[in-house]
Amino acid sequence: MRICLITPEPGHPLLAGAAELLRGAGHRVESLDPGANGDAGGAGEVPVARGSAPAPADVYLLKARTPRALRLARELERRGAPVVNSAAATALCQDRTAMAELALRAGLPFAGTRTHGSLAAWAASSEARQELDAGPVVVKSRLSRRHDLVARVDGPARLRELAAAWPQEPVVVQDFAPNSGWDHKLWAIGDRVFAALRRSELAPEGRGPAQPLDPAGLPAGWERLVRRVGEVFALDVYGVDIIDTGGGSPLIVDINAFPGIRGQAAAPRALADLALARAGHFP
């Protein structure tokens, strides 16, 4: 089988580990950097349309979220190629407003989310003052991306500071839910669920390394909840960030398409098996 990785980082441990297993089983693994020819989102044909992509693969693994990568994935899908995850599912997980709307419509325990066109405009509004009077909030970039804005705001001074640094940033605002200060990082690759604990980036101590967690030790129903997220969002490889608001009651605060899933020894094998299954070859 021929497997193609759509990514600027084929050496990422998850991808490299899966590729090694696939090659060891006699399959061909290639990579395609969707940004290799420039263009972070402007006009122009995607690489596959110019013939610069590898020969058609049996399955494509989409670990990139740039506009160019999504255009490439859409073109591959149009030609009938299986792409994991699909371009539509990947794009949906970038828009935190659309993500929250779909999750809440589906009955998932997702954090209530309000959207504002710019951080500066919201910060100057009476609505912002009323919300802060009710308690801390979490402000996030509406577009999920590397080095985006995610911050806890406890009062007007902190809000003014963020608004000065990110004035035109479209944002979502969520009420801060009291919790232990630890995020449950749950990941799924096909039917496999992986878990870890990581100090929340909102905690005073700052984010630290993830601590692997046996999924069997999760509160009742959490694994089922993770799989339900995959069904609702049509995802095969994804992450679900959950906080325990008390007594094992879950609150989903973010969903990510094709996260890195580091520190999970069985993840590369799960990804290799998924790639073969989606290519129509069952190991």
| Average pLDDT across the chain, whole number | 90
In the prediction, which pLDDT does 139 show? Answer: 97
In the prediction, which pLDDT does 40 show? Answer: 37
In the prediction, which pLDDT does 50 show? Answer: 39
In the prediction, which pLDDT does 271 show? Answer: 98
Band the pLDDT of 51: cuts 50, 70, 90: very low
Q: Are 46 and 71 in contact (CB under 8 A)?
A: yes
- Give the integer Cα–Cα distance in Å for 77 and 115: 31
**Residue 48: pLDDT above 90?**
no
- Beta-carbon contacts of residue 49 (< 8 Å; ≥ 6 apart): 75
* Pairing verdict, β 137-141 and 237-244: unpaired
Per-residue DSSP letter, 18? H
Cα angle 276, 282, 283; round to 5: 85
User: What digits encode the pLDDT tens for the residues 158-192?
Assistant: 999 999 999 999 999 999 988 877 889 999 999 99
Per-residue DSSP letter, 11? T
φ, ψ dihedrals at 182, nearest 5° = -115, 135
Of the candidates 85, 102, 42, 99, the one whose C-alpha atom is nearest the C-alpha of residue 66 is: 42
Band the pLDDT of 36: cuts 50, 70, 90: low
Band the pLDDT of 283: cuts 50, 70, 90: low
In the prediction, which pLDDT does 45 show? Answer: 46
- Beta-carbon contacts of residue 65 (< 8 Å; ≥ 6 apart): 90, 91, 94, 145, 257
User: What digits encode the pLDDT tens for the residues 71-86?
Assistant: 999 999 999 999 999 9
Kindly report which listed range (106-120, 201-215, 225-239, 240-254) carries the lowest average pLDDT score.
201-215
pTM to 2 decimals?
A: 0.89
Band the pLDDT of 46: cuts 50, 70, 90: very low
Band the pLDDT of 264: cuts 50, 70, 90: very high
**Residue 140: pLDDT above 60?**
yes
In the prediction, which pLDDT does 202 show? Answer: 72
Residue 203 vs residue 13, higher pLDDT: 13
In the prediction, which pLDDT does 280 show? Answer: 86
